[in-house]
Amino acid sequence: RKEVEQDPGPFNVPEGATVAFNCTYSNSASQSFFWYRQDCRKEPKLLMSVYSSGNEDGRFTAQLNRASQYISLLIRDSKLSDSATYLCVVNIRTGGFKTIFGAGTRLFVKA
């Protein structure tokens, strides 16, 4: 089982739709959580950190459920420019630390 698993993609949605991504992690020592976006042939860029209380940044909402070990990302009112791959990232404290990236979920937003 992968340490971080994401929804299989791709997701194809029309402009204006609401889309949700889920990510599960297996290591209970996971300490911090992030969502990144990656455009084709570009570097990953931080979208938002994920806090236990949930957090919102404009059209984007991230939530963390420690008991069930999953995080989610909700995108409201999708724009064409939201088309990208969304990466779930988990930092695990294990003496040292490990950063584990999910394989990503591809999103296509169509006019």
Q: What would you measure as the largest C-alpha separation in the chain, in angstroms?
A: 48
Distance separating alpha carbons of residues 92 and 29, to the nearest angstrom: 6
Closer CB to other proteins, 17 or 44, in the complex: 44
Closer CB to other proteins, 63 or 78, in the complex: 63
Q: Tell the smallest beta-carbon distance from residue 36 to other proteins (Å).
A: 8
Q: Tell the smallest beta-carbon distance from residue 111 to other proteins (Å).
A: 28
From residue 51, how far is each of 39, 57, 64, 104, 108 by CA, in Å?
24, 12, 6, 20, 26
Binding site for other proteins (CB under 8 A): 4, 31-32, 34, 42-46, 49, 87, 91, 93, 96-104
Closer CB to other proteins, 20 or 103, in the complex: 103
Beta-carbon-side half-sphere exposure of residue 13 (alpha carbons within 13 Å)? 21
